[in-house]
Structure 1
Amino acid sequence: MSAAGNLTWTPAADALDRLAPPVAAAIGRVPSARVAEIDPELADTAAFCEAYESSPEHSANCVVVVGRRGGETKYAAVLVLATDRADINNVVRRHIDARKISFAPMDEAVELTGMEYGGITPIGLPYAWPVLVDEGVAGAGEVVIGSGVRGSKLLVDAAELTSIPSAEVLALALS
């Protein structure tokens, strides 16, 4: 199974209407990005990989976390392969210097990113947020990620994700 699966991919820059507005505005940072339309009901990773014959080892999930220390609140995006789980409570919490950390509530994540829940992607996130990319993602070659909406996916060269200005590559996956 490949990352591309059985989908028809189009250069993302030629199909901006298939992306959430913040993703469309930032897609130029990821020149390899291609987009494919999917059934929004199949946007969740396991269903997507099965339906479209896309390898989970080349599919990356992006989650928004919120950390707090004292009166300060910090947000970050965490990108990890679908086959792995991110060490949110230890590695991510320490990295963003938070005392407490959790997944951002759905409505908050949607409002702050301008993206649909289940389609959140590291491309086009608020500039101040760190984008923590697991080293497994960075070394995966082509990966499928969200497009900001549930009705499409992006296929990108993972190395380009590490060049997003706020991106940092870390060992995030639990072993």
Structure 2
Amino acid sequence: MGNAELMGDGELAPAGRERFLAGARAHGLDVELVERKAARSLQEAAQILGIPPSDIVKSLVVKHKDGTFLFALIPGDRQISWPKLRALVGVNKLSLPPADAAFEATGYERGTITPLGSSTAWPVYADAAMTGHRISMGAGEHGVSAFVDSDALIEALGATVADISDPE
């Protein structure tokens, strides 16, 4: 729809990129957007951007059994560790929701999800392996990546930092 997306109630919401940028501004974050050709995988996106897969951070939407959500930020060369995340959150069941539920929870399609500008500010858990350097992440729109300092992102989001991943 160009610069806006149709919401369920028929109202127009700002497009993903604009919501991402507004979220970054609201958190005082300096982000750099890079337009790139569409990628079929995280590895391909890393190659296009000229960075290692570990520098791309996946923003995963995770569902609690009570119906609430959280964001798990995981480096691209790692995978979420369900036992570690469950222990940290203090629950015995977490899951990845279907794409439509993730969209409903964040306002972003898979492959574009980011905590910045999410339709709901869910708690954020960041893997310790992503700290201390410049990362790339989804920017709310396909074909657009955002670069940001990982420590500034973690601080701005009030993220809990812990070991929540395992090597792929």
TM-score, length-scaled by structure 2: 0.81
Say if 2:79 and 2:166, in contact at 8 Å, map to a contact too. Answer: yes
Say if 1:135 and 1:172, in contact at 8 Å, map to a contact too. Answer: yes
User: Is 1:145–2:137 an aligned residue pair?
Assistant: yes
Number of the residue aligned with 2:149: 157
Number of the residue aligned with 1:101: 94
Superposed CA offset, 1:25-78 (max 9, x none)? 211125221001112x3163111112332221211111111121xxx2231111
CA RMSD in angstroms, aligned pairs only: 2.0
TM-score, length-scaled by structure 1: 0.78
Gaps of 5+ in 2: 1-13
Match of 1:79 among 47, 53, 73: 73
Equivalent residue pairs, number: 152
User: Is 1:63–2:60 an aligned residue pair?
Assistant: yes
Change (3 A) 1:20 1:98: farther
Match of 1:46 among 43, 49, 58: 43
| Aligned mates of 1:112, 1:21 — CA distance in 2 | 18
Number of the residue aligned with 1:12: none
Say if 2:29 and 2:156, in contact at 8 Å, map to a contact too. Answer: no
User: Is 1:117–2:102 an aligned residue pair?
Assistant: no
| Aligned mates of 2:89, 2:117 — CA distance in 1 | 20
Say if 1:22 and 1:114, in contact at 8 Å, map to a contact too. Answer: no
Say if 2:31 and 2:148, in contact at 8 Å, map to a contact too. Answer: yes
Runs of 4+ in 1 over 6 A off after TM superposition: none
Number of the residue aligned with 1:24: 21
Number of the residue aligned with 1:135: 128
Give the secondary structure class of the aligned counterpart of 2:104.
helix
Say if 1:21 and 1:114, in contact at 8 Å, map to a contact too. Answer: no
AA aligned to 2:32 is R
Number of the residue aligned with 2:31: 33
Give the secondary structure class of the aligned counterpart of 2:148.
strand
| Aligned mates of 1:35, 1:43 — CA distance in 2 | 19
| Aligned mates of 1:73, 1:20 — CA distance in 2 | 27
| Aligned mates of 1:163, 1:43 — CA distance in 2 | 31
> Once the 2 structures are TM-superposed, how far is the Cα of residue 21 of structure 1 from its aligned partner?
4.1
Change (3 A) 1:49 1:165: closer
